[in-house]
Structure 1
Amino acid sequence: MTSIFDQYEQASQVSQRPVPVSEQMTSSGYINMQLEDNTPMFSKQKMNFNPSDMITHVAVSSDFLVLAMANGKLFRLDLKMPDQHEEIHYAKFVQPNSKLTAIFLDPLGYHLLMTFAARNKDGSPELVYLHRKSSKLKPVTKSKNYEVTEVGWNYENMSLTSTGPILLGTSQGHILETELEAESDKMFTASQQYWRQIFDIGKGANTPITGIQFHRVNKTSKFFIFVTTPTRLYQFIGHAMMADDKPSLQSIFHPYLTTPETGFQEIPSTLKYSKLQFYFDKSSNPKTFAWLTEPGIFYGQLDPTSQQNSNSLFTQSELINYPAEKDPTSTEETTPLSFVLTEFHVLLMYSDRVKAVSLLNQELVYEEKYSEVHGKLKNIVQDPLRRTIWAVTDKAVFRYKVKREERDVWRIYSDKEQFDLAKLYCQNNPAYIDIINVKQAELLFTNKDYDRSAEIYAETQSSFETVCLKFLEVDQVTALKVYLGKRLDALEDDKTLISMIVIWMTELYLSQLGSIRRTGKSDSQEYHQIQSDFEVFLLQPKVVKCMQHIKSVIYDLMSSHGDKDNLIKLTVINEDYENVIAQNIYKKSYMEALQMLQTKRKPDLFYQFAPSLMEKIPSQTATALIAQGPLLNPTKLLPAFLSCENDEAHISEITRYLEFMLQNFNVKDKAIHNYLLTLYVEYDQAALMKYLERQGQEIVLVNYDVHYALRLCREKGLSEACVKLSALLGLWESAAELALEVNLSLAKEIANMPEDESVQRRLWLGIAEHVITKSQDIKEAMSLLEECQLIKIEDILPFFSDVITIDHFREPICQSLEEYNKQIEEIKAEMEEATTSAECVRNEIQSFRNRSVLVSVSDACCLCDIALLLRPFYLFPCAHRFHSDCLLAEMQPILAPARRNKLKDLQRKLNLLSNIELSTMTSSGLPLREVLKNEVDDIVASECVFCGEHMIACIDKPFIADEDWDRVMKEWE
């Protein structure tokens, strides 16, 4: 049970870490975060062990504790079972005049070596072995002449019965190699596989070995060995002979037997002792070492694989001074008696206190004085595998707990300006990382490494405005861009700040580019690099997304700088093709604008920019329009065409495009045809006539406004075109008159066009009058008679003058008379034929008056199968007979709507009019009743319902309607 004094002592333990210099918190993101850890870094706890006498020596490995006591006994305890311990009387196994000097426990905690020195000249040193499972000590016989002062254990040995190859250091400086095995308790001595001396450091002088360690390098045959004396640290490197995975270390020393001593570190010391400690990483590989000397702790980093210096195993080393006493007049020892090495600290043991010094900045972080009640401190040791730390006094055993000894490592590395290491040990604490980054950024800024400083500042929580002002004050625009770019990358949802940074960075790039252009160095490497960086910036996804909201601001910004090239590139990136084309046109890069139009194939853009392009590059624009084909509506391009200058180059290209669209895509829009016709009228009359010819002479099929075309042609005096158009409008007389002004053949062509022969005859008479009146040429007049059969000699005679005699027309007059005689004879024949036909008709009518049909009583209606004579009926020449009401019912559904309505009207009159009204005589001499009945008969009985045209029209209809199938099927059954 812990005493009240022990409880007080434990409660009073405080880490003596100096109060750190307060950090200048330029960050804004971590104001209230607790940065200090007040938990003690080192604290001890007294163990409830009760050794039977004063403790003289201690050894701990793998949670197995061995204490040597003044009464000649060993106290052994498995720390996993603290309630079970044993004591072994070792004094009876050694010479009476021997004195215990040290005990050594292997890393597994199974093999214990005890070294004894002679108290007088008559005695001899001894080495005794004790196995964990045994209670009998066994001497190592071959060690009689050697006083062993240090043991180098084999850390790779996993055997519980054998130590494996080990090294022994003696007081004379000899290094021995041996292997010990545990045998049965009946054996009087420890079994030695071999025993050999492999090196002599003292070379004849008594140079005691105070520390020895050997380790294998990465599972190879290469080993390194550290050996210390009070003043020297030796390093041995070489390859061992391997047998059954056991090394023979003697071969490592062979090269050093014949070479001068060079591989050692010497530190002057008046002490007769020193200590060597290693610190192992999580993979049980040696990471650092420390050597206790009089001036201080010689500390270094181990790197056995380094090829830089084959003679040295450590890459970094320094001498750590012992902490000075607070009272300069104090008589306490200044050199510790022992020490323990941890990852970041070294615990120094004095006779009455324990101090902890940081390996990184050599500051004292812990100090505790032991009470005299427990006696003086004997040793402080560390379990090499479990890494537990134990301090032993004369009367007690204490266990040290190390709580987060790396807590201040980040701060120390930061103070030493080793910022990467500082971040490595700050355990991802955002407040610590921010402090480190701020300090690193400020240092870089002070050293004028502005770009790197900007990168680090962007990772801090420092005020955005403050950092920007720092770079602006020193006119470091490039560094400012780096800072803004990094901050932009880190932003996610802050649209306002993103927009501000994008605008600001754009302004910075444009300003830099503009400044270089003004100096005339736009071809320099610097200019191209800034331009390249600017383009990369504009292509960033976050910037592209932001541009959708602020592109008008950016466009105005670029325009204000006169940077048309970048403005066009930006519009391309934003797919703002309208602005791209507009900027190209503004730059007078018309071909580039046209290429952009052709690439994107967007009709709206063509309609928008066609006027400008058609004005400047008509030929290329017309070719591009033709390439678009049906994608463009020619009607929407009319404003572009109308805005062009009326010169030959523009008109020919417009005409070329319109002709292409009409010929290949059959455009029928009247506006297009009217515009093309206008161009023809103005500039190409030959093409106009071809166009009119292609359009034809059917006014309903032409695509242009004929009246508009006729007006234009009249204004321009195009007589031939007016003739065509007048003929198209049916103005034959006007067309013929104009044609006569052009040429006679055109007039004859017009005269043959009308379908009405009377019109043709009139037109030909006009032509004849014009020809005869003009020249009185009889031959030409005769040729007119031959060309047109509609006019005769007598029609044209009035057009000749009185001086022309009839003898000139004898032949045509005779020919005309012969034709008249022939026509008379034909008419006579027709009259005789008509007389004969009339006589036949009269005879046939007479025969019909005497014709009759016999109706018997058994005859039935063809529709209802009821006796025919029961009701009024109709009898057809085909012998079909129907009751009048049956035929009426049958005919009504098949009559046309107009005849059906007329039939209903006649029936209504017959039913509604009185007998007096029906008996009224009509103008035909028949009563009204007879007239109405005759009209009903004409509608109902005009043909037989079975034999007439109705039956032929119903040939494709089924005999049985769909709705009657069920009824018919039942009847057939």
Structure 2
Amino acid sequence: MTSIFDQKENASQISRSAVPVSEQMTSSGYINMQLEDNTPMFSKQRMNFNPSDLITHVAVSSDYLVLAMANGRLFRLDLKMPDQHEEIQFSKHVQPSSKLTSLFLDPLGHHLLLAFSARSKDGNPELVYLHRKSTKLKSVSKSRNFEVTEVGWNYENKSLTSSGPILLGTSQGHILETELDAESDRMFAASQQYWRQIFDIGKGTDTPITGIQFHRVNKTSKYFVFVTTPTRLYQFIGNAMFTDDKPSLQSIFHSYLTTPETGFQEIPSTLKYSKLQFYCDKSNSPKTFAWLTEPGIFYGQLDPASQQNSNSLFTQSELINYPPNKDNSNETTPLAFVLTEFHALLMYTDRVKAICLLNHDLVYEERFSEVHGKLKNIVKDPLRRSIWAVTDKAVLRYKVVREERNVWRIYCDMGLFDLAKLYCQNNPAYVDIVNVKQADLLFSKGDYEKSAEVFADTQRSFETVCLMFLEVDRIDALKIYLLRRLDALNDDDKTLISMIVIWMTELFLSQLGSLRRTGKDDSQEYHELQSDFEVFLLQPKVVQCMQHVKSVVYDLMSSHGDKQNLIKLTNINEDYENVVAQHIYRKSYNDALEMLQSLKKPDLFYQFAPVLMEETPKNTINALISQGAKLSPTRLLPAFLSCQNDDAHSAEITRYLEFMLHNFNVKDKAIHNYLLTLYVEHDTDALMRYLVRQGQDIAMVNYDVHYALRLCREKSLSKACVNLSALLGLWEAALELALEVDPALAKTVAAMPEDQALQKRLWLAVAENIINKNQDIKEAMGLLRECALINIEDILPFFSDVTTIDHFSEPICQTLEEYNNQLEELQAEMDDATESAEYVRKEIQSFRERCVLVSVTDTCNLCELALLLRPFYLFPCSHCFHSDCLLQEILPLLASGRRNKVAELQRQLGVLPSSELNAVTASGLSLREVITNELDDIAAAECLYCGEHMIASIDQPFIAEADWEKLVKEWE
């Protein structure tokens, strides 16, 4: 689309573009580099088409270009199809005395208005309408008395045939509302749905309207209207009336008809023209506006949604002066301009300039040579946002490349750091420059804590920042900086993390120590500082770092005398051994026990129990008892065994072991053996109570009986030895020892065995011992009453031959009476047995004479065929089955061994020759009969329906799982 001449000019333009100066980096974290590229922000490109005559006017919307030429023709071009254009003669449709003043194209690019003024006083102004799909120009008849100077298009209109409600501004200051329709039956006049005058800015004077735009506020019924004259900017806001989803804009001006003239901005000017431009975001909502006047561009931010009772719809307005001309040209005021997001492009007769709206700097200037011709206008496509400059000979398109590239720097210089970061485009070098500048500014203002937060996000030297806060003695700010830097560090930066953790700990300890020394350890400041310190210690990075530097931190806390935080830190690090060892080293045993109890770490009890038991047994045992089942007595045995074997230590150990046995039912054999040893050494009464509690079931006792017996024998504890021997089943030895100690104990031992023969033998030994000692007949008779297993005849041999029988008459008679009772019981049992045998013989005889009749019509209960067709079985319960049917049914119910046996017997019947099967065996039967009898014993052992097979299969379903689906289909 560009000519060779334009390509050469563009190349030279790029080469002449000043290379942006790279800003000196203020941080050491980035390489010093050029921050900007060399691509020009604004560059032009000439379109490769030549109109038939000089260009006078231009309009562009939605990539649709319309040019008016001096020969009275219109040049129309769809920029999407640059090879197809058309020209239309418009001069013959208007009076010769009319002069074309303006072209107005709606945002959709379908509705074009041509405004004409009268060349003489006798002529009338005209307004001509042309639709994009038509080549016939139509006159707007009702505009005869109005010279239209501006058109306010409806940006919400989506119709391609109707313009929707629009506003027209005239040279007399009238504001008209109308709607144009392309689908009109009139041949030479455009259809106007309505035409009404709704306001008069001039109040009867000729005040030309130079700009008019209206927009809707956030999809509500509220609209605002901006109208400009050469010296004034008017603002109107109000609610529109809707009919068929179309607004009636007349209602917006109702409240302004009866009020004094207010709501305008006045700037004196000698010019007869001014320009109004809006910048809209991607949703086509206006964000900023600019008004070109003689002194400069009046620029402001739009916020109509927040407008309440204020007379102004804009905020942060300012007057931007025009940049001076370097060649001392007298032309100071632009002829036209367009507005972008951050810049305004100013058009003069021979040049185009671009100024930044933020800092008012001139960022672009280019002179046009005579080859291009004189500049006529510069316009912007409202929807496509393309910018077009038109000379009388050419059309040029301006390309805007990253106009926001320096916005971050401008906002930074203005102190708007949040906006600066927003436009840094995620470039870390830019963000760092902004942060450093913001932090320095905050530091200079004395806002040290906020400055520390921002410094932490920069690459400024760590040492430099720390020295800055130390020089002004701002420890709190320094801590904020260190914390933020700590959060930003990677886990691999172990050295720097360790340094910050140790430094932060020292800072906290120093501040806490200072408050304690001044008596403020109960103040709110102290508690808040302590809380911050605890939160710091709980941070994951700090906890992880403490594993490497804990010795240094412990020394710091010890040097500050901060025992409380030292304990808390050991809790966090689970490093309790160090503090407990220090307490023991200082002989603060109670403190060590208190810490062990508070830490709830059983392993530490096991580690320090030997020393603590040796030094303070009672308090140690109290601490162990307080832990209950949290501690294992077995793991404490080494500590107990290492203690002195005196009464004080033994009593405390015994107290602990008894507590564990009684309350937690400890069954560990080592514990019981050790407790039994203590009993043997120091308390024999407790030993006997312990043995009694353990019982006489050797499978239930928790101690080693052999070990206990050996200890008791070494200490000559006879009673204990008797119990232990009896527990081991050494009844004779236990009885012998018991007889030496106490006859009553011997009787107790004799009554223990469950075997009556053994019990009788033991009682006889007791009786023999008693009788041999004193021949006391009464005592011997008492033994007979105590034990029912021995009789008078059992103990008579133990008496001497000189003992008379008179003393034994009563027990002898009693014994004889018992024998007589036994003989009578035996006789009754023999009679019952004889009767039972006779009954059985009669039953057997009756079975021999029993028979069952089989009818020809009887059938097999399994296959329901005639029973007599094949060999069959007949059971006493009247059930009958064919032999093969019964065998087939009974096989799945048999055990695997019996099934194999049946298969083997059937194989023999089928394989062996007849000679072998008919051979007589030792039993007198043939081999065939023997095999058949074995099969009968297996198959016909019991009835299939009445025997144990039916009971065993009670949990089996009636229908097999494999046949279930088939049965369901049959039922369906």
So what's the TM-score if we normalise by structure 2?
A: 0.70
Q: Which residue is 2:553 aligned to?
A: 554
Q: Which residue is 2:623 aligned to?
A: 621
Whole-Å Cα distance in 2 between the matches of residues 56 and 228 of structure 1? 23
Match of 1:337 among 332, 335, 338: 335
Q: Which residue is 2:23 aligned to?
A: 23
Tell whether the 8 Å contact from 1:611 to 1:643 is kept in structure 2 after alignment.
no
| Cα shift at 1:149 | 0.9
1:18/1:631 Cα in 2 relative to 1: closer, same or farther (>3 Å)?
Answer: farther
Tell whether the 8 Å contact from 2:90 to 2:137 is kept in structure 1 after alignment.
yes
Whole-Å Cα distance in 1 between the matches of residues 49 and 723 of structure 2? 134
Q: Which residue is 2:156 aligned to?
A: 156
Tell whether the 8 Å contact from 2:107 to 2:382 is kept in structure 1 after alignment.
yes
Q: Write out per-residue CA displacement over residues 148-189 of structure 1, whole angstroms, 9 at most, x where no aligned residue.
A: 111101111122222111100111111000111224696121
Whole-Å Cα distance in 1 between the matches of residues 28 and 55 of structure 2? 57
1:828-867 matched pairs, under 5 angstroms:
none
Q: Write out per-residue CA displacement over residues 460-507 of structure 1, whole angstroms, 9 at most, x where no aligned residue.
A: 223223223322332222222222222222233314233333333233
Q: Which residue is 2:246 aligned to?
A: 246
1:82/1:667 Cα in 2 relative to 1: closer, same or farther (>3 Å)?
Answer: closer
Q: Write out per-residue CA displacement over residues 916-940 of structure 1, whole angstroms, 9 at most, x where no aligned residue.
A: xxxxxxxxxxxxxxxxxxxxxxxxx
1:649/1:308 Cα in 2 relative to 1: closer, same or farther (>3 Å)?
Answer: farther
What is the percentage of aligned positions where both structures have the same residue?
66
1:354-373 matched pairs, under 5 angstroms:
354-373=352-371
1:197-236 matched pairs, under 5 angstroms:
197-236=197-236
1:642-681 matched pairs, under 5 angstroms:
642=644, 646=648, 650=652, 653-654=655-656, 656-657=658-659, 660=662, 665=667, 667=669, 670-680=673-683
Name the SS for the 2:501 alignment partner. helix
Q: Which residue is 2:129 aligned to?
A: 129
Q: Which residue is 2:573 aligned to?
A: 574
Q: Write out per-residue CA displacement over residues 70-92 of structure 1, whole angstroms, 9 at most, x where no aligned residue.
A: 22222222222222222222221
Whole-Å Cα distance in 2 between the matches of residues 628 and 49 of structure 1? 96
Q: Which residue is 1:326 aligned to?
A: 326
Q: Write out per-residue CA displacement over residues 117-164 of structure 1, whole angstroms, 9 at most, x where no aligned residue.
A: 112211121111122222232221111111111110111112222211
Q: Write out per-residue CA displacement over residues 28-86 of structure 1, whole angstroms, 9 at most, x where no aligned residue.
A: 23205431111111011122222222222111111111112222222222222222222
Q: Which residue is 2:267 aligned to?
A: 267
1:676-755 matched pairs, under 5 angstroms:
676-680=679-683, 687=686, 690=689, 701=705, 703-704=707-708
Tell whether the 8 Å contact from 1:15 to 1:42 is kept in structure 2 after alignment.
no
Q: Which residue is 2:299 aligned to?
A: 299
Letter in 1 for 2:64: F
1:792-807 matched pairs, under 5 angstroms:
none
Q: Does 1:467 align with 2:465?
A: yes
Letter in 2 for 1:506: T
| Cα shift at 1:561 | 2.8
Aligned length: 766
| Cα shift at 1:750 | 9.8
Whole-Å Cα distance in 2 between the matches of residues 302 and 396 of structure 1? 35
Whole-Å Cα distance in 2 between the matches of residues 643 and 518 of structure 1? 49
| Cα shift at 1:555 | 3.3
| Cα shift at 1:354 | 0.6
1:658/1:137 Cα in 2 relative to 1: closer, same or farther (>3 Å)?
Answer: closer
| Cα shift at 1:248 | 0.5
Q: Does 1:401 align with 2:368?
A: no
Q: Does 1:635 align with 2:637?
A: yes
Larger Rg: 1
Q: Does 1:446 align with 2:449?
A: no
Tell whether the 8 Å contact from 1:581 to 1:596 is kept in structure 2 after alignment.
no
1:751/1:337 Cα in 2 relative to 1: closer, same or farther (>3 Å)?
Answer: closer
Whole-Å Cα distance in 2 between the matches of residues 666 and 51 of structure 1? 112
Whole-Å Cα distance in 2 between the matches of residues 119 and 667 of structure 1? 127
1:519/1:116 Cα in 2 relative to 1: closer, same or farther (>3 Å)?
Answer: same
Name the SS for the 2:35 alignment partner. coil
Name the SS for the 2:188 alignment partner. coil
Letter in 2 for 1:247: P
Tell whether the 8 Å contact from 1:207 to 1:229 is kept in structure 2 after alignment.
yes
Q: Which residue is 1:513 aligned to?
A: 512
Tell whether the 8 Å contact from 1:225 to 1:235 is kept in structure 2 after alignment.
yes
Q: Which residue is 1:80 aligned to?
A: 80
Moved more, 331-340 or 517-526: 517-526
Q: Which residue is 2:486 aligned to?
A: 488
Q: Write out per-residue CA displacement over residues 394-427 of structure 1, whole angstroms, 9 at most, x where no aligned residue.
A: 2221111111111111111111121111121121
Q: Which residue is 1:92 aligned to?
A: 92
Letter in 1 for 2:371: V
1:598/1:505 Cα in 2 relative to 1: closer, same or farther (>3 Å)?
Answer: closer
Moved more, 76-85 or 293-302: 76-85
Name the SS for the 2:304 alignment partner. coil
So what's the TM-score if we normalise by structure 1?
A: 0.70
1:187/1:537 Cα in 2 relative to 1: closer, same or farther (>3 Å)?
Answer: same
1:814-833 matched pairs, under 5 angstroms:
818-819=802-803
Whole-Å Cα distance in 1 between the matches of residues 241 and 65 of structure 2? 34
Whole-Å Cα distance in 2 between the matches of residues 267 and 644 of structure 1? 111
Name the SS for the 1:665 alignment partner. coil
Whole-Å Cα distance in 1 between the matches of residues 185 and 53 of structure 2? 27
Tell whether the 8 Å contact from 2:184 to 2:190 is kept in structure 1 after alignment.
no
Q: Which residue is 1:455 aligned to?
A: 453
Tell whether the 8 Å contact from 2:633 to 2:657 is kept in structure 1 after alignment.
no
Q: Which residue is 2:522 aligned to?
A: 523
Letter in 1 for 2:648: N
Where does the alignment leave 5 or more consecutive residues of structure 2 unmatched? 726-738, 751-760, 782-798, 807-900, 922-926, 928-972
Whole-Å Cα distance in 2 between the matches of residues 559 and 258 of structure 1? 85
Name the SS for the 1:437 alignment partner. helix
1:821/1:504 Cα in 2 relative to 1: closer, same or farther (>3 Å)?
Answer: same
Tell whether the 8 Å contact from 1:302 to 1:314 is kept in structure 2 after alignment.
yes
Tell whether the 8 Å contact from 1:614 to 1:622 is kept in structure 2 after alignment.
no
Whole-Å Cα distance in 1 between the matches of residues 389 and 374 of structure 2? 11
Whole-Å Cα distance in 2 between the matches of residues 482 and 627 of structure 1? 46
Tell whether the 8 Å contact from 1:590 to 1:616 is kept in structure 2 after alignment.
no
Moved more, 721-730 or 55-64: 721-730
Name the SS for the 2:527 alignment partner. helix
Q: Which residue is 2:415 aligned to?
A: 417
| Cα shift at 1:692 | 8.0
Q: Write out per-residue CA displacement over residues 432-452 of structure 1, whole angstroms, 9 at most, x where no aligned residue.
A: 122222222222222222222
1:760/1:286 Cα in 2 relative to 1: closer, same or farther (>3 Å)?
Answer: closer
Name the SS for the 2:648 alignment partner. coil
Whole-Å Cα distance in 2 between the matches of residues 663 and 84 of structure 1? 105
Structure 1 vs Structure 2 CA RMSD: 4.3
Letter in 2 for 1:673: L
1:640/1:658 Cα in 2 relative to 1: closer, same or farther (>3 Å)?
Answer: farther
Letter in 2 for 1:30: Y
Name the SS for the 1:374 alignment partner. coil
1:473/1:642 Cα in 2 relative to 1: closer, same or farther (>3 Å)?
Answer: farther
1:211/1:710 Cα in 2 relative to 1: closer, same or farther (>3 Å)?
Answer: same
Whole-Å Cα distance in 1 between the matches of residues 525 and 241 of structure 2? 63
Tell whether the 8 Å contact from 2:571 to 2:599 is kept in structure 1 after alignment.
no
Tell whether the 8 Å contact from 2:679 to 2:686 is kept in structure 1 after alignment.
no
Q: Which residue is 1:903 aligned to?
A: none
1:385/1:520 Cα in 2 relative to 1: closer, same or farther (>3 Å)?
Answer: same
1:658/1:514 Cα in 2 relative to 1: closer, same or farther (>3 Å)?
Answer: same
Q: Write out per-residue CA displacement over residues 10-30 of structure 1, whole angstroms, 9 at most, x where no aligned residue.
A: 233259988767534232232
Moved more, 388-397 or 517-526: 517-526
Name the SS for the 1:142 alignment partner. helix
Tell whether the 8 Å contact from 2:337 to 2:345 is kept in structure 1 after alignment.
yes
Whole-Å Cα distance in 2 between the matches of residues 61 and 695 of structure 1? 107
Q: Which residue is 1:739 aligned to?
A: none
